[in-house]
């Protein structure tokens, strides 16, 4: 009798618990992704990388691409939140303007990962990015080695992007001592709205028309570098004045090969995307995700210290472009080296 009762109890327990346990093991997060724009190549590469990793891991993801417009991005995030996502991966167009949507996500119990760009104030759960200050440092180190004396044009990125401040901060750490030593003069120090090449071009055109003759131009990314180089070309200065960049955009890489742009800073979007997806899964699966994601540093968002995972940016110029960008299959040989 006792054995039968025990047997029945075991069967009941198996019936009750096994399906639930299996279900819990099987359940994967539904991940919402909101990226700020399709107007700069790098975000399209981020999107491709995120989709490809999610496909390999058989994860359910929903992606929205913005258009340098926070109102539109907020509507897109609202749409993601209405589709039962568990985690939101967010690169905001506007660091402040996206805060209300982070609060909304938190109210719904959705965890938020700030991706590449930090959202200011609302206390996102984790921030995954490249070392942004180091990006600026690498750019400035390169330029100051090529042009240690003379007038500099310093362009920073879009004022609504927290990264712009960080890049500029990193660059000025290198440039300011030279200014203090009387070697370098800052002829202009100005932001570029929305990081658009035409805005960078107009700024540099105006400075050149005013008689400024820079020995170097700090362009914060490849897109702005493109505009700067157009402006320099009109004065026969393209290829003669060192210009920095960032992102390893295809056009940027081509200009480096042609000798028009001096360098770029490579931030492998495949690495960033993979990390963000891994963390999204950890956050969903583990109560103790904070220990396992190993965010070694923290970034202030104005109110909170945000656990941060920092990836390493890499300096690329003519000497290592083939190895870093082509051999790693980030860019295609046939597209970079065009006749």
Site for ligand BGC, rule CB under 6 A: 40, 42, 116-117, 157, 161, 163, 195, 221, 246-247
Task: Report, in Å, the least distance between residue 119 CB and ligand BGC.
Answer: 12
Structure-block tokens of residue 327 = 């051999």
- Interstrand relation of 150-156 and 263-266 (parallel, antiparallel or unpaired): unpaired
Q: Collapse the DSSP code of 38 into the 3-class scheme (helix H, G, I; strand E, B; otherwise coil) and give the result.
A: coil
Task: Report, in Å, the least distance between residue 187 CB and ligand BGC.
Answer: 23
Residues contacting residue 92 through CB under 8 Å, at least 6 positions apart: 34, 36, 70, 73, 98, 114, 117, 119
Task: Report, in Å, the least distance between residue 277 CB and ligand BGC.
Answer: 18
Name which of 28 and 165 has its Cβ closer to ligand BGC.
165
143, burial (CB in 10 Å: exposed 0-12, middle 13-18, buried 19+): buried
Instruction: Round to whole Å and give the CA distance between 118 and 93.
Output: 10
Name which of 116 and 133 has its Cβ closer to ligand BGC.
116
Residue of minimal CB distance from ligand BGC?
221
Name which of 135 and 178 has its Cβ closer to ligand BGC.
135
Are the beta carbons of 117 and 162 closer than 8 angstroms? yes
Are the beta carbons of 128 and 279 closer than 8 angstroms? yes
Instruction: Round to whole Å and give the CA distance between 307 and 73.
Output: 24
CA angle 62, 56, 286 (to 5 degrees): 70
Task: Report, in Å, the least distance between residue 255 CB and ligand BGC.
Answer: 15
Task: Report, in Å, the least distance between residue 88 CB and ligand BGC.
Answer: 18
Name which of 74 and 160 has its Cβ closer to ligand BGC.
160
Structure-block tokens of residue 36 = 């700020």
Structure-block tokens of residue 161 = 């992007």
Name which of 94 and 161 has its Cβ closer to ligand BGC.
161
Task: Report, in Å, the least distance between residue 89 CB and ligand BGC.
Answer: 14
DSSP run (H or E) holding 300: strand 297-300
Name which of 30 and 117 has its Cβ closer to ligand BGC.
117
């Amino acid at each position: 009798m006792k054995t039968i009762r025990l047997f029945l109890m075991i069967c009941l327990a198996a019936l009750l618990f096994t399906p639930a346990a299996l279900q819990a093991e099987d359940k994967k997060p539904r991940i919402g992704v909101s990226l700020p724009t399709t107007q700069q190549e790098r975000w399209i590469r981020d999107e491709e990388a995120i989709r490809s990793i999610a496909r390999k891991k058989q994860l359910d993801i929903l992606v929205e691409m913005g258009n340098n417009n926070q109102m539109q991005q907020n509507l897109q995030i609202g749409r993601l939140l209405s589709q039962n996502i568990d985690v939101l991966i967010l690169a905001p167009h506007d660091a402040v303007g996206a805060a209300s949507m982070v609060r909304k996500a938190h109210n719904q119990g959705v965890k938020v990962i700030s991706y590449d760009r930090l959202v200011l104030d609302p206390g996102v759960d984790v921030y995954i990015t490249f070392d942004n200050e180091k990006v600026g440092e690498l750019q400035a180190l390169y330029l100051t080695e090529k042009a240690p004396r003379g007038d500099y044009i310093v362009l920073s990125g879009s004022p609504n992007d927290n990264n712009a401040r960080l890049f500029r901060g990193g660059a000025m750490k290198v440039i300011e001592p030279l200014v203090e030593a009387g070697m370098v003069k800052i002829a202009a120090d100005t932001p570029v709205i929305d990081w658009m090449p035409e805005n960078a071009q107009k700024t540099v055109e105006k400075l050149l028309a005013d008689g400024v003759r820079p020995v170097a131009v700090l362009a914060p990314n490849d897109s702005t570098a493109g505009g700067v180089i157009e402006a320099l070309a009109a004065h026969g200065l393209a290829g003669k004045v060192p210009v920095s960049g960032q992102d390893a955009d295809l056009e940027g890489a081509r200009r480096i090969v042609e000798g028009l742009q001096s360098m770029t800073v490579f931030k492998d979007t495949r690495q960033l995307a993979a990390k963000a997806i891994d963390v999204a899964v950890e956050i969903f699966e583990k109560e103790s995700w904070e220990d396992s994601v190993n965010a070694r540093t923290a970034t202030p968002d104005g109110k909170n210290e945000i656990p941060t995972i920092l990836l390493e940016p890499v300096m690329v110029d003519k000497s290592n472009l083939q190895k870093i960008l082509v051999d790693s299959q980030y860019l295609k040989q046939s597209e970079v080296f065009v006749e």
